Structure formats: C-alpha cells, structure tokens
Amino acid sequence: MLEELKQRVYEANMELPKHGLVTFTWGNVSEIDRETGLFAIKPSGVPYEELKPEDMVLMDLEGNKIEGKYNPSSDTATHIELYKAFEEIGGIVHTHSSYATSWAQAGRDIPCYGTTHADYIYGEVPCLRCLTEQEIKDAYEKNTGLLIVSEFQKMKKDVLAVPAVLCKNHGPFSWGKDGMEAVHNAVVLEECAKMAFRTELIQPKVKPAPQALQDKHYYRKHGANAYYGQTK
C-alpha cells in the first residue's frame, strides 16, 4: 500500500546520515499523501543501515498504524499535529543535528546574519519555550506539536517561509512540500546554525543583516517575482 510513498520516505531518511545530520538513530523523516490522509514515517529505533523501503510505517492522522511491522517513530504525534494544522506541509524532519541542537539547548533564536540564511529562511529561526512539567507528563510528543502550531499561529509566521523551528532543550524540526524538501531545509538549517555560531565567536557584537538585504535575497528565490535559477 502506497509503495511509492514508502520508497520516497526511505530515500529521504537515508539522506540524513549522508549529510551528517544524525548519530545512531537520532532522527526521522515523514511524508504525507494528502489524497488518502496517510503518511509514512521511519520506524522507531531501527538503525539506518538496516532500513528498507518496506520498513516505513503507514499512519493516519488519528495516530492509528495502518501498515508496518515496526512501531513508528516516537515523534509521530508531533508530525501528526503539524500535518493537521498546516495543509501546505507535505514532509517533516526531526534531527538532533549538533549545531541547531546547541542553539535549542541555549534557548536562542538563530538570527539571520547573512544572505545564505536569507536565501532559504525569512528572518530568524524561532526557539520556542520548553514544555511545562504537565505538558511533558501528559502527552509529550503531541504537546510538542501543539506548541509549534500555536506559536507559529501566534507569531503569524508562514510555515513555508520559515520552514524550521527549535524546540528548547530538545532540538530542531524542519518541513517542506515533501520529505526531500524537508531534508533539504534541515541541511540548510544546520549550516545556518553553524555559521551563526562561528559569526558570534568572531564578532560577539554582530547585528542581524540589514532587512533590505534579507528581503532581497529571500524574495529573489521565493514568491511571484522570484528570478533565481532557470525558468521552466
């Protein structure tokens, strides 16, 4: 069932170790099929070198396992809340990539210090509050998703313009129109986190890039008047 979706999700998951975003089994990718309302996600705790396309677990948006011999990722409930809230999200990635996670552990947004960041992410990458003790005890993964949803809605952030978030004391989530785009954004996030860290080491009093420069670089790649790349 949905074998092509499982194949895509398998391939997207295999990109994580290739790009150095995961250690051991610390990460997962999912992608949703909006027609059926089902999504495929990496199984929990299975080493990447042992994964096969048929190991991907099919889930519905109520949290029911539809197909698969393994349990789904422990972060499945977070993915579900994002898919339910944002129709434009088609794929989600969670990692503990070291630089992005360091910013999350510090409880800091990642400022936009330059055009590399601005090309892909509009403004800073927000770091959200830590979950309360009760939120952690009650339904940790679901409440992680609900917090991301509520904060993005409160901040009026476009999830495709800001395709990543840091969960305080935890790590990053990123997303995109499908699983591969979500992985792409996870790689970009880690590189931006790394560059921002080094930038502050070199110049502790650094300020974010001028807004006009941020706007120029973001909108030349995104939106109705984008002109970066080749016309199709």
SS (H, E, C) the chain: CCHHHHHHHHHHHHHHHHCCCCCCCCEEEEEEECCCCEEEECECCCCHHHCCHHHCEEEECCCCEEECCCCECCCHHHHHHHHHHCCCCCEEEEECCHHHHHHHHHCCCECCCCHHHHHHCCCCECEECCCCHHHHHHHHHHHHHHHHHHHHHHHCCCCCCCCEEEECCCEEEEEECCHHHHHHHHHHHHHHHHHHHHHHHHCCCCCCCCHHHHHHHHHCCCCCCCCCCCCC
Does the pLDDT of residue 231 top 70, yes or no?
A: yes
Active-site entry in 70, 109, 119, 219:
119
User: What value does the mean pLDDT take over residues 12-35?
Assistant: 97
On whether the CB atoms of residues 15 and 91 are closer than 8 A, the answer is: no
229 in any annotated domain: no
231 belongs to a structural domain: no
Burial 207-227 (b: 16+ CB within 10 A, else e): ebbeeeebeebbbbebeeeee
172-227 pLDDT, tens digit per residue, is: 999 999 999 999 999 999 999 999 999 999 999 999 999 999 999 999 999 888 99
CA angle in degrees (0–180, nearest 5) for 217-163-96: 120
What's the whole-number mean pLDDT along residues 71-88?
98
Rg (CA), the chain: 17
CA gap 50, 28 in Å, rounded: 14
Question: Residue 232 pLDDT > 70, yes or no?
Answer: no
> Is 227 a member of any domain?
no
Task: Tell me the whole-structure pTM to 2 decimals.
Answer: 0.96
Is 151 domain-assigned? yes
Query: Could you tell me which of 143, 206, 183, 136 has the C-alpha nearest to residue 22?
Result: 183
What is the number of other CB atoms lying within 10 angstroms of the CB of residue 101?
A: 20
Distance CA 64, CA 50 (A): 24
pLDDT in tens, 106-121: 999 999 999 999 999 9
Q: What is the mean pLDDT of residues 21-29?
A: 96
Q: Is 225 part of a structural domain of the chain? A: no
pLDDT band, very low/low/confident/very high, at 74 (cuts 50, 70, 90): very high
Percent of the chain with pLDDT over 90: 96
Question: Is 228 marked active-site?
Answer: yes
Question: Do residues 117 and 192 touch, judged by C-beta distance below 8 A?
Answer: yes
Q: Flag whether 228 is in a domain.
A: no
Q: Do the domain assignments include residue 105?
A: yes
Structural domain including 51 reads: 3-219
Q: Would residue 169 count as lying in a domain?
A: yes
pLDDT tens digit sequence for 84-93:
999 999 999 9
Check which CATH number belongs to the domain holding 162 and give it: 3.40.225.10
pLDDT the model gives residue 38: 98
Of these residues, 60, 138, 158, 228, which one is catalytic? 228
83 is catalytic: no
Kindly tell me the burial class for residue 202, based on how many C-beta atoms sit within 10 Å of its own C-beta (0-12, 13-18, 19 or more). Answer: exposed
Q: Write the pLDDT tens digit of every residue in 152-183.
A: 999 999 999 999 999 999 999 999 999 999 99
Q: How many domains does the chain have?
A: 1
Percent of the chain with pLDDT strictly greater than 70 = 100
